[in-house]
Amino acid sequence: MVVLERAGVAGGRTRGERRSRAAAERRPVPLGVGLKRTFGKPGLYVVIALWMVSTLGPYVVMAVTSVTPQDQLLAYGMSRLPTRFSVQGYRELFATTPFVHYMVNSAITALGTVLFALVVASAAAISLSRFRFRGRTTVLTALLVAQLFPAVLLVIPLSTMLRSGHLLNSRAGLVLIYVTFATPFATYLLKGFLDGLPRELDEAATVDGCSPMQMVRHILVPLLRPGLTAAGTYIFIFAWNEFLYALTFTSSTASQTIPVGLQLFIGDYQIRWDLLTAGGVIAAVPVLVGFMLVQKQLIGGLAAGAVKG
């Protein structure tokens, strides 16, 4: 009997060890560990170096080209390093082109899109996550389907709508379009974040006498700040860099944004690489600075919205 019991215990341990090993084998291996096992430590460094060159290389070339004199660009293009550096491209960019107007238009359009899209997306996310109502599944499906249409497919319908609303060639028209495209993704992101918050918070607020609006204002919105930061960053980058609709629906300096302004430096017979790259460097600065300021909140908000949704 004792022998059987010992054998059973040993068998149980063996089965338990097998299950543990099987679970460990099924557990996903981190990317860095997998690459290290595949290529070895030197190979991992080579892979990382190649990735950094391919990622940062275009930005380095753009920055170097922006301080290369125009005569050297005309003579050698971007095939050689400059023998001297010059900021003439930056001076000419602000002195001879309406680049300041492009920057103002981009800032107003991007910030307006962030403001309105976050208001709409947060209200929709709270409703879809915290309340049950008829048609909820249909709304979620519609938000998903809205993201499946190619942007170019909607140029003609949107042009007709903007023309009928007298919003062509205006910043308000761009904001309206950008809010339409940014809201579905932001709603899904914020809903995923809210789904990870325990329902006990709502119940405790109700017991304390909070109305639904008070619960949203004093409990859900403060807890939603990391998600709002992540969604707002995504929306800002989208609106700041968008080119197709800005090119199609604007035709004057009063409403054109930076991407459209940079495109104007590409002529039929000559490309002003110094102005084009100088404008690109300036356009990248707000995005880089904003990302560095909200980096921790952005990563936390994206992780929460992706995992808990």
d(CA 265, CA 285): 20
Establish if 7 belongs to a structural domain. no
Residues 48, 179 within the same domain = no
Q: What is the dihedral of CA 252, 254, 255, 257, to 10 degrees?
A: 90
Which token pair is 255? 């409403």
d(CA 62, CA 158): 34
Distances 209 to 198, 221, 231 between C-alpha atoms, Å: 18, 18, 31
Q: Give the model's confidence band at 22: pLDDT under 50 very low, under 70 low, under 90 confident, else very high.
A: low
Establish if 17 belongs to a structural domain. no
Question: Residue 114's pLDDT is what?
Answer: 96
Count other C-beta atoms under 10 Å from residue 54's C-beta. Answer: 9
Minimum mean pLDDT range among 103-112, 139-148, 238-247, 291-300: 291-300
Beta bridge partners of 220: none
**In which domain, by residue range, is 278 found?**
97-307
Q: Which residue has the tokens 């994206």?
A: 302
Contacts for 228 with CB less than 8 Å, ≥ 6 apart: 118, 122, 190, 301
Inter-residue contact 181 to 234 (CB < 8 Å): no
Establish if 76 belongs to a structural domain. no
Residues 160, 293 within the same domain = yes
Establish if 239 belongs to a structural domain. yes
Minimum mean pLDDT range among 27-36, 95-104, 106-115, 206-215: 27-36
The domain spanning residue 240 has which CATH number?
1.10.3720.10
How wide is the angle at C-alpha 95 spanned by C-alphas 94 and 96, nearest 5°?
100
Number of domains within the chain: 2
Q: Give the model's confidence band at 300: pLDDT under 50 very low, under 70 low, under 90 confident, else very high.
A: low
Does residue 21 carry a pLDDT above 70?
no
Establish if 226 belongs to a structural domain. yes
Residues 128, 255 within the same domain = yes
Phi first, then psi: give them for residue 90, nearest 5 degrees: -70, -40
Residues 270, 172 within the same domain = yes
pLDDT in tens, 188-217: 888 888 888 888 877 787 887 888 788 888
Which token pair is 35? 């690459």
Establish if 247 belongs to a structural domain. yes
pLDDT in tens, 85-105: 889 989 999 999 999 999 999
Residues 162, 253 within the same domain = yes
Residues 124, 33 within the same domain = no
pLDDT in tens, 145-159: 888 888 888 899 999
Residues 241, 160 within the same domain = yes
d(CA 173, CA 166): 9
Residues 187, 101 within the same domain = yes
Inter-residue contact 99 to 279 (CB < 8 Å): yes
Residues 45, 176 within the same domain = no
Contacts for 200 with CB less than 8 Å, ≥ 6 apart: none
Residues 151, 271 within the same domain = yes
Establish if 133 belongs to a structural domain. yes
- Type of residue numbered 231: A
Residues 40, 124 within the same domain = no
Establish if 108 belongs to a structural domain. yes
Residues 49, 194 within the same domain = no
